[in-house]
Amino acid sequence: MKLAKALWILGNLLVNITIGIYIYLSSKAPLDPIERHNYLNENWDIYAGHWKAEFVFMTMIAIGAIYFAINFKKISWTLVSVGQLISLSLYPIMLGGYQNTPFEIAEMANQMAIVVFVFGNIVFLGGLIHLYLYDSLLNKWIRFSAVGFASIALIAFSISFMGFIDWKQALIIGPLTNLLFLINAYYGFKIKLENMKK
């Protein structure tokens, strides 16, 4: 229980750092897709290190969520777990598909990663909405803030998944997801053994 809590809390806190790093890296990369691909390969050690760290942090979140899904026996935790497992599959795609590959192969890997990223987040966010709507561990204003943040993000990712907007446009809601990860971490602190299976 303590390890699951620690992994959930640390994962949600640390992934915020990697989000900030990604925003910084993206701001430095060229806009042209081919130039961006070349830039990524020239700075591969930085990008690979970043994605490997994020892979670890997202795995920590997944382990915590799976443990809670097994012990709480709630559909919300099952959705969170499945969403995380889907999202985890994008890291091998990026780490294996971008380095020293022709642009066409890298672009194919990128499109695969985007689909996995967007759909994984849709499932994950759906689980969080259900969790915070029906759970009573947090104060109402925190719960409903989390529901609001997750709902806005879910709508943005769903619209992106349906092809109405680009996935980068959906990332406008980035600050809301940062706050959501912080609320997730705080929620982890509030979980107690006696709450299991209630």
Q: What is the reported pLDDT for 176?
A: 86
pLDDT per residue over 60-119, tens digit each?
999 999 999 999 999 999 999 999 999 999 999 999 999 999 999 999 999 999 999 999
pLDDT per residue over 131-144, tens digit each?
999 988 899 999 99
Distance CA 151, CA 145 (A): 10
Rg of the chain taking only CA atoms, in angstroms:
17
Q: What is the reported pLDDT for 198?
A: 44
Domain of residue 142: give its range: 2-195
**172 has a pLDDT exceeding 50:** yes
Provide the domain count of the chain: 1
Amino acid at 12: N
Long-range contacts (CB closer than 8 Å, 24 or more residues apart) made by 53-57: 53/14, 53/18, 54/15, 54/18, 54/22, 54/91, 55/88, 55/91, 55/95, 57/10, 57/11, 57/14, 57/15, 57/18
The Cα-based distances of 11 to 53, 136, 140, 197 in angstroms read: 10, 22, 24, 23
Q: Yes or no: say if 85 and 69 are a contact pair by the CB < 8 Å rule.
A: no
Task: Give the global pTM.
Answer: 0.90
Distance CA 53, CA 37 (A): 21
